[in-house]
């Protein structure tokens, strides 16, 4: 029987990541790589051999295609606090090679991208692994990045040294079929000499990762695919996950769920955030809030773009959407993510919300990416009182209703500053009349009229139109604006003003009124 991941001088205390594996795994404090976060390296539950796989985002994992879990299988991780975390496999995605059309076109490599039904939560204590992004293949074969953390199916861990990157196709030791052409990374175990922690893969190790320690986080380079034995040596062949064409495919698949692979050595980019609010936001009505994000770097992409919005607690009906954006709503907060943003590119996100209470509020807008530190901007939002919010607590909010039977409908009370629940022809000051008044009639027959108007009438979608009629017939009223020869406005309070208009002498007897209309729903 083969014992996965053979080590030169095996020690349970030094080379086993857990004791009690797989039934009751407990972290081994003496494990050779205990200082490196490997919580994203887990295994398939219930299989004859609990082979390993590697979480590379909250919802995706990488393994070997020739031995990958099936849809519906359970995969397991041990969180940082030692608790067991189980998740269900939703799908498997092939990563293709670039074989020519003469060979039948691209074929599936031995790199498999698995997808979970539910994403690993922030509070689960399981951290996905980074990937080692270097500028050239040669850089993976020289210090310090050629020193590998090598893991195996029985949660053993050891070391390896990357020596070559090549194309591989053939039959791995543990599979019954051939591997299509796959870019691979190799490390060689010498039977004689070497260090006590040197390791090589054996049967059952397929899919287990090779990683590099980058600031105490495990950055995946490859997953075990095949083994070549020769006199005095055993060569472990890993599918080279960090191969840029594979990363591009992986990112394209993951972008549908708002993720990209996370670079172990991220660059630095500058993001510009812009916000566009409607000219008027009325309480009780849905409003749109546009957020734009630009990548100002002309050379480097941004990965795992995030936008956060913190609305006032009284806000309801919050939603957010945009091309390739995924948004999660938690109460009055929005957390939106997008897989990436290309160099020099821009993207936009549209949020919808309903502010239920009038007032001025600060909205916190945050933006970040793997290559850009989080930044938060404060956007001031002014919410105007609407008839909808003003009347929401009334027994009958119908604009035509007259709850106090004083002759003024709810809409007129709202327009002229009355109290719809208290019978009165005055505003609260007891002296300002709600109804329009004839101020004077001049000797030559000109008429001066006065009426009350809200100062912010336009923002409230209120209109006050002076109309005239010679007969009081319902169909005879018309706009009297053409007869106005003079007008003036006097401030009465913070919210109201008195309008005084002088009208030319009519040819015949005339009646006047102020018609109030409301169009805030538009």
Tens-place pLDDT, residues 8-55: 999 999 999 999 999 899 999 999 999 999 999 999 998 777 889 999
Could you tell me which of 96, 100, 66 has the C-alpha nearest to residue 253?
96
Look at residue 175 in the predicted model and tell me its pLDDT.
Answer: 44
Q: Domain residue spans in the chain?
A: 6-240, 271-384, 392-518
> For residue 144, is the peptide bond before it cis, meaning its omega torsion is within 30 degrees of 0?
yes
Q: Look at strands 447-454 and 302-310 and give their pairing.
A: unpaired
Look at residue 183 in the predicted model and tell me its pLDDT.
Answer: 96
pLDDT tens for the chain, 522 residues long, are 345 689 999 999 999 999 999 989 999 999 999 999 999 999 999 877 788 999 999 999 999 999 899 999 999 999 999 999 999 999 999 999 988 777 778 999 999 999 999 999 999 999 999 999 999 999 999 999 999 999 998 889 999 999 999 999 877 654 445 899 999 999 999 999 899 999 999 988 999 999 999 999 999 999 999 999 999 999 999 999 999 999 999 999 999 999 999 999 999 999 999 999 999 999 999 999 999 999 999 999 999 999 999 999 999 999 999 999 999 999 999 999 999 999 999 999 999 999 999 999 999 999 999 999 999 999 999 999 999 999 999 999 999 999 999 999 999 999 999 999 999 999 988 899 999 998 888 788 899 999 999 999 999 999 999 999 999 999 999 999 999 999 999 999 889 999 999 999 988 889 999 999 999 975
Element containing residue 199 per DSSP (H, E): strand 199-200
Please give the Cα distance from 294 to 345 (Å, whole number). 6
Please give the Cα distance from 252 to 98 (Å, whole number). 16
CATH T-level assignment (fold) for domain 6-240: Thrombin, subunit H (2.40.10)
Element containing residue 15 per DSSP (H, E): helix 12-15
CATH T-level assignment (fold) for domain 271-384: Immunoglobulin-like (2.60.40)
Structure tokens at 329: 């709503």
* Cα-to-chain-centroid distance, residue 262: 16
Name the residue with tokens 């806000």.
Answer: 315
| Same fold flag, 271-384 and 392-518 | yes
Tens-place pLDDT, residues 296-326: 999 999 999 999 999 999 999 999 999 999 9
Look at residue 270 in the predicted model and tell me its pLDDT.
Answer: 97
The CATH number of the structural domain formed by 392-518 is 2.60.40
The beta-strand segments (E) located in 264-370 are 271-276, 281-282, 286-295, 302-310, 315-321, 325-330, 333-341, 346-355, 359-369
**Residues in contact with 401: Cβ distance below 8 Å, sequence separation at least 6, in sequence order:** 394, 409, 410, 420
């Amino acid at each position: 029987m083969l014992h996965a991941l053979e080590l030169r001088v095996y020690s349970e205390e030094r080379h086993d990541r857990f004791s009690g594996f797989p039934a009751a795994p407990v972290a081994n404090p003496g494990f050779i790589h205990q200082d490196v976060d490997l919580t994203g390296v887990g295994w398939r539950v219930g299989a004859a051999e609990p082979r390993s796989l590697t979480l590379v985002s909250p919802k995706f994992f990488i393994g070997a295609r020739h031995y990958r879990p099936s849809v519906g299988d359970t995969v397991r991780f041990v969180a940082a606090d030692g608790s067991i975390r189980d998740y269900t496999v939703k799908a498997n995605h092939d990563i293709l090679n670039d074989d020519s059309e003469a060979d039948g076109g691209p074929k599936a490599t031995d790199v498999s991208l698995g997808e979970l039904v539910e994403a690993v939560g922030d509070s689960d204590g399981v951290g996905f692994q980074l990937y080692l992004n270097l500028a050239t293949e040669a850089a993976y074969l020289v210090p310090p990045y050629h020193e590998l953390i090598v893991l195996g199916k029985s949660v053993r861990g050891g070391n390896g040294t990357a020596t070559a990157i090549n194309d591989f196709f053939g039959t791995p030791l543990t599979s019954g079929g051939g591997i299509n052409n796959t870019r691979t990374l190799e490390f060689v175990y010498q039977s004689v000499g070497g260090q006590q922690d040197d390791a090589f893969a054996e049967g059952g190790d397929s899919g287990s990762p090779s990683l590099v320690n980058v600031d105490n986080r495990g950055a995946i380079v490859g997953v075990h695919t095949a083994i070549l034995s020769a006199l005095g040596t055993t060569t472990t062949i890993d599918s080279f996950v960090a191969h840029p064409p594979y990363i591009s495919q992986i990112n394209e698949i993951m972008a549908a769920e708002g993720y990209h692979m996370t670079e172990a050595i991220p660059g630095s980019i500058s993001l510009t955030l812009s916000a566009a609010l409607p000219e008027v936001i009325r309480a009780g009505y849905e409003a749109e809030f546009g957020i734009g994000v630009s990548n100002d770097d002309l050379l480097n992409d941004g990965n795992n773009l995030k936008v956060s919005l913190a609305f006032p607690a009284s806000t309801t009906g919050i939603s957010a959407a945009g091309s390739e954006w995924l948004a999660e709503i938690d109460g009055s907060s929005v957390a939106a993510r997008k897989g990436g943003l290309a160099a020099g590119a821009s993207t936009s996100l549209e949020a919808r919300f309903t502010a239920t209470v009038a007032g001025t509020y600060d909205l916190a807008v945050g933006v970040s990416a793997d290559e850009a530190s989080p930044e938060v901007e404060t956007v001031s939002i002014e919410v105007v009182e609407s008839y909808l919010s003003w009347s929401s607590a009334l027994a009958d909010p119908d604009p035509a209703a007259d709850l106090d039977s004083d002759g003024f409908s709810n809409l007129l009370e709202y327009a002229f500053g009355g109290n719809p629940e208290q019978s009165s022809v005055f505003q609260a000051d007891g002296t300002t009349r709600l109804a329009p008044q004839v101020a004077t009639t001049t000797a030559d027959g000109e008429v001066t009229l006065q009426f009350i108007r809200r100062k912010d009438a336009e923002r409230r979608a209120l209109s006050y139109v002076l109309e005239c009629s010679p007969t009081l017939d319902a169909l005879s009223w018309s706009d009297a604006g053409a007869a106005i020869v003079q007008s003036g406005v006097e401030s009465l309070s913070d919210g109201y003003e008195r309008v005084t208009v002088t009208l030319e002498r009519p040819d015949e007897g005339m009646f006047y009124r102020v018609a109030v209309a409301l169009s805030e729903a538009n």
